[in-house]
Structure formats: C-alpha cells, structure tokens
C-alpha cells in the first residue's frame, strides 16, 4: 500500500490518541481507590463479625444482671414478708425461725448486691466495647463511602476523557484515506501501537534497533511506500529523524 508521507505522519497522531484512549479506559476500569475500597470492605466485614461477638457478650452480661436484679427483688420481698409476719407471730419457735430466715436473707441480699455491682460493671465494660467497635465500623464505613465517591468521580472523568478522545480520533481519522486507516486498524488488533516513528534507526513502537540490512531495505523504498517494522509488524513512519 502507498500513502503520502503526510498521511503516514498523521498515523502517529492516531496512534497517540489510541494510547491516550487506552489509558483513559484503563483508568475508568481501575480507579486508584479500588484496592483500598476492597480492603475496607473486607475490614468492615471482620469488624461486623467482632461487633456481633461483642454484642453477644454484652447481651449475656445484661441478662445475668437482670437475673441478679430479679433475685434481689425476690429476696427483698421475702425479707419484708417475713418481717411483717414476725410482728404478728405468737409462737417463740416460729419467731426464732423467722429471725433466722431474715438474717439469712440479709446475708443473701448482701451477696446479691455485691454480685449486682460486679455485673453492672461488666455490662458497662461490654457496652463500652460495643460502642468502641461501632465507632471503628463507622470510621471504616465513612472512609469507604468517601473513597467510593472519589472513585465514581474518577471513573466519570476518565470515561468522559475517553469519549472526547474518541471524538478527536474520529476527526483525525476522517482526514486520512480510508484504506490507510483500515490497514492501521487491522494491525492495531494485534499490535500496539500500530504505527510508530522510526527514529535514529529504532522503532519507537517496540524499541527494536533495526539492523543495517533492514535499514538498507527501507532506504530503497519510495517515500510513499508503507513500510513495516520487521520485529513488531507496526507501520514505520519515516521522517528526517529516522537516520536514513
């Protein structure tokens, strides 16, 4: 295929736009926040698991405190009832029995009150642990939400950039003969970039330094001949910088 040197140089603009489009599309699919968002998602799941465990401990301790408080109420009611009965009992034997039971209930209440204080402290500690864990989850959630918002903004910006570059590419391609663009696009399926400058005897697409034999063969080609890199197969665009 033949193409004017000007049209061949226009392929370099097309290749540059394709590189920029590829970068923008890659950026849209891989926002820089993605890795951290994934990390935070896993972190939050673990934090939620720990919160479930801590909530279970808190609920168990609250249930134990409720049980002790019920025992305290029952003991106090029983002691009050025995005290009332003691006021009306006439039998000395019954009076002694009631006094002994009241004393035992007093000791029981004292022990229960100590247990109650200890259980209240345990509940407070458990609630503090739950609150601390919830704060960690809230912080993780907040960071994740911020990063997700920034990621969406990044994706939108990169997508818009890719679309604009696509329009720029279409405008450039419209100025190049269709046959040449078709040849370029066919190569671009397997070669990236599909066109590159031959600078100082080096293909700037694959960075291969051409041999003397290859350069001699290229020199023999007319200016409008389409030449290819012997290594990558991309179109080599010749200019005064090519070292020919």
Contact present, 40 and 170 (Cβ < 8 Å): no
pLDDT digits (tens, 9 = 90+) for 162-175: 999 999 999 999 99
28-174 is a CATH 1.10.287.1700 domain = yes
Alpha helices in the chain, H assignment, sequence order: 5-29, 34-88, 92-174, 178-188, 212-219
Residue spans per domain, the chain: 5-26+177-238, 28-174
Provide the residue count of the chain.
244
Output the pTM of the full model. Answer: 0.73
Closest of 184, 179, 214 to residue 196, by C-alpha: 184
Contact present, 12 and 198 (Cβ < 8 Å): no
At CA 23, angle to CA 17 and CA 28, rounded to 5?
Answer: 125
pLDDT at 90: 80
Q: In whole angstroms, what is the distance from residue 81 CA to residue 241 CA?
A: 111
pLDDT at 243: 81
What is the secondary structure of 35-60 as a DSSP string? HHHHHHHHHHHHHHHHHHHHHHHHHH
Structure tokens at 4: 């004017």
pLDDT digits (tens, 9 = 90+) for 85-114: 988 888 888 888 988 999 999 999 999 999
Contacts of 141 (CB under 8 A, 6+ apart): 44
- Please, what is the average pLDDT of the chain? 95
pLDDT digits (tens, 9 = 90+) for 43-92: 999 999 999 999 999 999 999 999 999 999 999 999 999 899 988 888 88
């Amino acid at each position: 295929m033949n193409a004017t040197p000007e049209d061949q140089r226009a392929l370099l603009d097309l290749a540059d736009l394709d590189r920029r489009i590829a970068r923008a599309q890659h950026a849209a699919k891989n926002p820089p926040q993605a890795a951290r968002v994934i990390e935070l998602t896993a972190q939050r799941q673990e934090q939620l698991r720990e919160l479930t465990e801590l909530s279970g401990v808190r609920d168990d301790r609250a249930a134990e405190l409720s049980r002790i408080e019920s025992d305290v109420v029952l003991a106090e009611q029983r002691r009050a009832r025995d005290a009332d009965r003691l006021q009306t009992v006439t039998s000395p034997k019954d009076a002694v029995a009631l006094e002994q039971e009241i004393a035992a209930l007093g000791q029981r209440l004292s022990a229960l009150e100590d247990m109650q204080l200890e259980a209240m402290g345990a509940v407070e500690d458990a609630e503090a642990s739950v609150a601390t864990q919830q704060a960690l989850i809230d912080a993780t959630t907040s960071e994740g939400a911020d990063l997700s918002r920034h990621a969406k903004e990044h994706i939108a910006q990169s997508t818009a950039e890719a679309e604009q570059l696509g329009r720029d590419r279409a405008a450039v391609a419209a100025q190049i003969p269709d046959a040449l663009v078709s040849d370029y696009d066919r190569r671009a399926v397997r070669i990236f970039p599909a066109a590159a400058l031959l600078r100082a005897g080096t293909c700037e697409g694959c960075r291969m330094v051409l041999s003397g034999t290859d350069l001699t063969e290229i020199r023999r080609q007319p200016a409008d001949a389409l030449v290819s890199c012997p290594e990558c197969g991309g179109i080599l665009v010749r200019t005064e910088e090519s070292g020919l």
